[in-house]
Chain A
Amino acid sequence: MKHLLSIDDLSTDEIHQLFETAADMHDVQSREVKKLPALRGRTVVNMFFEDSTRTRSSFEIAGKWLSADVINVSAKGSSTSKGESLRDTVLTVCAMGVDGLVIRHPASGAAVQVSEWVDAAVVNAGDGMHEHPTQALLDAYTLQRRLGSLEGRHVAIIGDLTHSRVFRSNIQCLTRLGARVTVVAPPTLMPSGVGAWSAAAGFETSYDIDAVLPTADAVMMLRVQRERMSGAYFPSEREYTVGYGLTRNRLALLKPDVPICHPGPMNRGLEIAADAADAAQSVVLEQVSSGLAIRMAVLYHLLAGEEL
């Protein structure tokens, strides 16, 4: 594995291998000295052209706990804001001898494009509405730890599917690991052409959240991405919550102890009620610590081995 641009880059065996390494990395988090020397002498640059708190800090801590030198470049405050092209920015940074490049960009396909320009290992940390592979890995890893195995388990992914890269990566990852996936969204937020896609990728679609929740073994809520919406996709926030939010009443529809995931940041009171976000079965914070373990595993597998 040279880059991690898409879940499609990984074989099922490689996903399991990453999970096993992540489990080792998870143990490190409970140590007094949270540092492994595996990436000593390696340099990782986090290039974030889109706002992010958890993904950027997660990659930063992951790199640092593996002893890599980590620097952060953001669009604001970098030469990008002076009009420099993505290609020139990336090439400039890589000319400084960078081994790994973690990139988030609002344009779908940006990470793939960057991987063609540079020698460094590229990790896609979210490209537009396309993919977010480490998020999908951490979601599946979190659920696997909770449920034992994903084989035959029913996972409901609910919310703004049209604008969600998390959902696109998750579909691939979850179905690959044997889960049965049903995606739920209002018709306006269901991606166009989903019918053919769902048939090919082997997932189900529904517009009725109340019908899906009782059979779910895990629920994954997605954020309503106001910043990516160019028009009105639903009449009002109130109406969205009534139709598709995980409200207190809907919590009662779930089987006991069904884990509730949310990739964050959460719009409390919109797609997820505070009662659900803070419920005992909510794994939102567990996702954060799993994310760190997964990103350590990814950086380790990409950068620790033989130099190419």
Chain B
Amino acid sequence: MPAPEEADPGTDSVRADRTVLDARDISRALTRISHELLERNKGATDLVLLGLHTRGVPLARRIAERITAVEGAPVAVGELDVTMYRDDLRSQPTRRAHKTALPPGGIDKKVVVLVDDVLFSGRTIRAALDALADLGRPSAVRLAVLVDRGHRELPIRADHVGKNLPSALAERVSVRLSEVDGSDEVTIS
């Protein structure tokens, strides 16, 4: 299921899919984000990466692998489902909830980095912040996204961005990842 934020209702663009990030671009972006995270956090201590379902989860794992390779020590990774916290729950057919799995150490007093594929309206991240409040009290929460396409509806911004992608509201940004979709690619159509 694509992240709901990617969907642009009423898309009737006649433009064909245009690849904005290929597999190598995605890899480079994730490597850069990993280094930025380490630099900002001054190492991997107390860092917890939480991937947002669906495509944020493999992205969080990939960033964790890169951090581990640099630091030589594993970094805590978890997955966060925000379905129950969405503000459009009532206006859609019932959505199936996914798993929320925190690393064994939990998130209390940790620096939690939310990882998602596309940052759009900001509503998913708002829901994620609500979910986090129910799960514990991190010392800080940061946001890392592969693509920021703009059009925010809430005062939310990402700390680490793979690519800023100015887009029209009618355009559709699709992120494909090999773990979910078989290949790595970001397209706009």
Contact = CB atoms under 8 A, between A and B. Distances in A.
A293 to B, nearest CB: 12
Given A33-B134, A37-B130, A27 B100 contact: yes
Contact of A35 (B91, B100, B134): B134
A208 interface: no
B84 A305 contact: no
B13 interface: no
Chain B contact patch, size range: 20 to 34
A33 B84 contact: no
Interface in A253-308: 300-301, 304-307
Max chain A Cβ within 10 angstroms of own Cβ: one of B81, B84, B90: B84
Interface in A47-87: 66
Contacts of A66: 84
A301 B95 CA distance: 8
B134 A24 contact: no
A32 B135 CA distance: 7
Contacts of B133: 33
A131 to B, nearest CB: 23
Contacts, number: 51
A24 B97 CA distance: 7
Contact of B81 (A24, A300, A301): A24
Interface string A12-40: 00000100110110010001110111100
Max chain A Cβ within 10 angstroms of own Cβ: one of B94, B100, B130: B94
Contacts of A304: 84, 89-90, 94-95
Contacts of B96: 17, 20-21
8 contacts: A17-B96, A21-B97, A24-B81, A27-B99, A36-B85, A66-B84, A305-B90, A306-B94
Interface of A: 17, 20-21, 23-24, 27, 31-33, 35-38, 41, 66, 300-301, 304-307
Given A17-B96, A304-B89, A305-B89, 13 more contacts: A21-B97, A23-B99, A24-B99, A31-B135, A33-B133, A38-B83, A38-B84, A41-B90, A304-B84, A305-B90, A305-B92, A305-B95, A306-B93
